[in-house]
Structure 1
Amino acid sequence: MESVAESIIQRAIDKEKKEQYTMALVLYQEGLQMLIDAIKELKDPVRKVSFQNNAKEYMERAERVKALIEKKKLSGKYREHIKIESNATGYGYSSVFGRFLDGRVTQICVEEPYIRTYHQCQNFLRFCELAVQKCQSLSKISLTTTSEKNKKSEQLEWLEQLKTSLADHLVTLDVQFSETLHDRQISLNNGWIIKIGRGLDYFKPPFSKFVLGYFDLELRPCLETKVDIFHQSQIEDNKK
């Protein structure tokens, strides 16, 4: 447990250096919890004091990162950039933006021109699953996309099935079509906005149905893309 905690803390430090502060904060919190649990099991008093000092240092770093995030949020200047390299793994939806989905989120607006084919609709389904799990107060998801000219009936059927499923969880799905839509953006009404160059469709297709990453996107190799995350105090909610 000690080595795992140290590895997570080191990842947090690396993310902090890259100014990916929200991801760094999550890793600090995860690593600190593991370190505290390890301290409880230590019998050697010398090692215990050493670990306690380390935990204190990392806790102070985490608090500084948290304060920096809040300061930048209040000033409307918080931005975070992530570059996903080709074939990189570990960039499932939960890792990339799951930390922004919390109990304060009641509405989500998704502008994504490519929720048309079967696998693209499945990507959106995975996103909705994550949102429902993370956002306990979620009441509405709004999707703006383009229509699939050749198989529009299938696209509508898939989205209608998803709409019915979300309704079972007391979440309304509103779908709008725009044939001029190009930009991709996810807006959360807790103030966070996520822009992904390739939208939700930034994963490479699996070689078969029996390879790691077929179901778990954290293990799926990615296409190269960039993620831009920023916060603004108030979102213009024009999707109501």
Structure 2
Amino acid sequence: MDIKSVAIDIMKRAVDLDTEQRYTEALVSYQEGLQMLTEKIKGENDEDNKIYLRNKIEEHWNRVAAIKELIQERKQMGNYREQVHIKKDSTGHGYRNLFGRFLDKDVEYVLIEDPYIRTFHQCQNFLLLCELLMKSCDNLRRIRLKTSKDAESGANQKDWFYNLETDLQKYGIQLTVIYSPANRLSRHIILSSGWIIEISRGLRRRIISSV
């Protein structure tokens, strides 16, 4: 399959997401497809195809601009919301896939609240999230986690967070861990850019909204 065919498939996906009002996901697909069409036009020799591609690129860039404006307006009004449902036993739902599009240079600090970052696999998931934040947010300076203490192996939990804190300091990122009873904690991630990621079950199912 050539670049043009792949780009068209991506654009169809973008239009479907746009129609479903999953605007941030649509933006990612639009931009990916537009990048491919732009590369395609550079090597195109047929003038009619060039004109066709230019018109399509302009049409979709106009839609991208309109979506960005719509999202910004709704964010300012505090009523923009997207919901992501993850079916049981489905795969391909890593952090980058689910909310990587919200992580950019505008994120300077991140507030995370989850009552259960205690067992080994929970701590590993938190580590993966920190790695994604570090790689995606160029201006990130602070991460604050609010979770509960592990009554059975609190020392291991504390040591693990200390080691992570030390590692993040090497990249100029301060990690602060605050402990609170599990029944007083909710599940969400707040980005300083204005996005809130509300989590319905651990770090698995997510609802995306704006502040």
Q: Deviations over 1:75-120 (max 9, x none)?
A: 1111111111223333211121111111121111000111111111
Offset of residue 71 of structure 1: 1.3
| Equivalent residue number for residue 153 of structure 2 | 151
| Equivalent residue number for residue 101 of structure 2 | 99
Normalising by the residue count of structure 1, what TM-score does the alignment of the two structures yield?
A: 0.82
| Equivalent residue number for residue 213 of structure 1 | none
Q: Deviations over 1:10-57 (max 9, x none)?
A: 221121122111111121111101111111111122222222222222
Map 1:160-239; keep pairs closer than 5 Å.
160-179=162-181, 180-200=183-203, 202=204, 225=205, 227-232=206-211
- Using the alignment, how far apart are the partners of 1:75 and 1:98 within structure 2? 23
Match of 2:141 among 131, 139, 142: 139
- Using the alignment, how far apart are the partners of 1:119 and 1:108 within structure 2? 21
Q: Which is helix-richer, 1 or 2?
A: 2
- Using the alignment, how far apart are the partners of 1:114 and 1:126 within structure 2? 15
**Which is bigger in relative contact order (C-alpha 8 A, separation at least 6)?**
1
- Using the alignment, how far apart are the partners of 2:184 and 2:45 within structure 1? 61
Give the conservation status (yes or no) of the 8 Å contact 1:113–1:144. yes
- Using the alignment, how far apart are the partners of 1:196 and 1:44 within structure 2? 50
Percent of aligned pairs with the same amino acid: 42
**Unaligned stretches of 5+ in structure 1?**
203-224, 233-240
Normalising by the residue count of structure 2, what TM-score does the alignment of the two structures yield?
A: 0.93
Return 116-125 or 182-191, whichever deviates more.
182-191
Match of 1:37 among 25, 36, 39: 39
- Using the alignment, how far apart are the partners of 2:30 and 2:208 within structure 1? 19
| Equivalent residue number for residue 14 of structure 2 | 12
Structure 2 letter corresponding to 1:183: S
Match of 2:124 among 122, 125, 131: 122
Q: Deviations over 1:187-237 (max 9, x none)?
A: 01111100121232x2xxxxxxxxxxxxxxxxxxxxxx3x211112xxxxx
Give the 3 Å change call, closer, same or farther, for CA 3–88 of structure 1 in structure 2.
farther
**Unaligned stretches of 5+ in structure 2?**
none
Map 1:23-102; keep pairs closer than 5 Å.
23-102=25-104
Number of positions where the alignment pairs a residue of Structure 1 with one of Structure 2: 208
Return 160-169 or 89-98, whichever deviates more.
89-98
State the Cα RMSD in Å: 1.4
- Using the alignment, how far apart are the partners of 1:11 and 1:147 within structure 2? 44
| Equivalent residue number for residue 112 of structure 1 | 114
Structure 2 letter corresponding to 1:66: K
Give the conservation status (yes or no) of the 8 Å contact 1:146–1:181. no
- Using the alignment, how far apart are the partners of 2:30 and 2:107 within structure 1? 23
SS where residue 201 of structure 2 aligns?
A: coil
Structure 2 letter corresponding to 1:229: I
- Using the alignment, how far apart are the partners of 2:196 and 2:143 within structure 1? 14
SS where residue 69 of structure 2 aligns?
A: helix
